A = this chain, B = another copy of it.
Amino acid sequence: MEKKIPHKIYISESEMPKAWFNIKACMKEQHEPFINPKTMKPCTEDDLRPVFCDEVIKQELNTTDELIPIPQGIQDLYHMYRPSPLCRAYFLEKALGTPAKIYYKFEGNNTSGSHKLNSAMAQVYYAKEQGITSLTTETGAGQWGTALSMACAFCGIDLKVYMVKVSSEQKPHRKEVIRTYGAEVIPSPSNTTKVGRSILEKMPNTGGSLGCAISEAVEVALETENCRYVLGSVLDHVLLHQTVIGLESKTALEKYGETPDIVIGCCGGGSNFGGLIAPFMADKIKGKAKTTFIGVEPASCPSLTRGKYAYDFCDTGKMTPLAKMYTLGSGFMPSPNHSGGLRYHGMSPIISKLYHDGYMEARTVEQSKVFEAAEIFARTEGILPAPESSHAIRATIDEALKCKESGEAKTILFGLTGTGYFDMSAYKNFNDGNMSDYIPTDEDLEEGFKTLPKVE
């Protein structure tokens, strides 16, 4: 199997990005600004300062600089686990019998098991520089919580993680990883916050949601001295940090004269997808490429494909600014039989805007089909993928099989965001034939939409 293109393409450490790629500077129209729900006016830096670190607020509001330098201190932290490999899926291609060339950027080869470390390292570094001594956050599938606990361990910062209760029960071992890195894990909703107590009173048996965990983490950050909140997805600065994925992929592909016809990623809050597509999307916006972009979401939490493009709160407790995005309503909670992450009610404002303006496609997949794809991938490429990432695998396999029918040798790039080592309860359901699908009815969605705020 001597081929010109190796199975794994590693760029050298000196080729790693020195600046993040700010896709907003290329977009013809910006997404609507965040709105302060108290004043109903666009958020200023001052509005955001009690919650977020100063430097990330600047990044959040920056729409003009295409390249934002990565401080040397963050580049040093990235060296711990980057560059990640860009892999050619020779084994999968052969198993499918497709003429398509399939590449995946594998972000799971670090202990967080995902891409989340890319933003965790950046945000914790900025917090440390600002003299912040403790941080709070939420986590769903647990990857973000693990990543942040790792970053906090390296930088010497205290951390409280509000973990969606159903995930903390499905994944007790994630909790131990986070504890090994020295952070505290609290299942959400909890009795430690006002918003948590209020939700528990109304719904004592709820499995929780990301939106609810965010509310609890924000409340603690606001009420603790020298403490800030950090978010692992959705916001523009998180997408910005994740652009190392797309930038490294582009550098690696260019070494072999390859350009993708299709770029595929799973969409929960949108940060990995946004980070993967950013530099390729810039080429499309500038008319240099005709790439197809496909965001894949679970049928059980279809914010892009069945949500409304509207102003909404980022959290269930309605404490955050309002963002214009595709949303199912902050009161929406996915069915308890939904496995893994991708359970957020909204979608990154950048991704929402790109989708709204026709630069990308979106589709949903059901979880039994997702695990079927995961198993095919594990048995051919050797990596046991996270359920989240397997949404992208499903769509990639579907596109590769279309190529098989049409005979087209398209180049497909997808984001393999993480590994499924902490998702074995879900795999057990699949292995036992007990995996059920759930597609919310229009009536279910209407209940969520009722929680949307009224904005003129």
A residues with CB within 8 A of B? 1-2, 6-8, 10, 12-14, 72, 75-76, 79-81, 90-91, 109-111, 113, 150, 153-154, 172-173, 176-177, 179-182, 375, 378-384, 419, 421-422, 424-425, 427-428, 431
Contacts and interface: CB of A to CB of B under 8 A. Distances in A.
Given A180-B375, A181-B378, A76 B111 contact: no
B91 A381 contact: no
Main secondary structure of the interface of A (DSSP, over half): helix
Given A1-B72, A173-B424, 10 more contacts: A80-B381, A91-B154, A111-B378, A153-B378, A172-B424, A176-B427, A176-B428, A179-B431, A180-B427, A421-B422
Nearest to A80: B382
A152 to B, nearest CB: 10
A180 B7 contact: no
B176 A424 contact: yes
A188 B150 CA distance: 37
21 contacts: A1-B79, A7-B13, A7-B80, A8-B13, A10-B10, A80-B91, A110-B383, A111-B378, A111-B382, A111-B384, A113-B421, A153-B379, A154-B379, A154-B382, A176-B424, A176-B427, A177-B424, A180-B378, A180-B431, A182-B379, A421-B422
A128 to B, nearest CB: 15
A13 B88 CA distance: 13
Given A176-B431, A421-B421, A424-B176, A181 B379 contact: yes
A351 to B, nearest CB: 29
B427 A110 contact: no
Contact of A1 (B76, B179, B182, B381): B76
Contacts of A79: 1, 6-7, 90
A123 to B, nearest CB: 16
Contacts of A8: 13
Contact of A382 (B13, B14, B150, B375): B150
Given A424-B177, A431-B176, A110 B382 contact: yes
A106 to B, nearest CB: 9
A255 B61 CA distance: 45
Contacts of A12: 6
A382 B383 CA distance: 20
Contacts of A154: 91, 379-380, 382
A362 B67 CA distance: 53
Contacts of A427: 176-177, 179-180
Contacts of A14: 2
- Residue among A379, A380, A422 with the highest chain B CB neighbour number at 10 A: A379
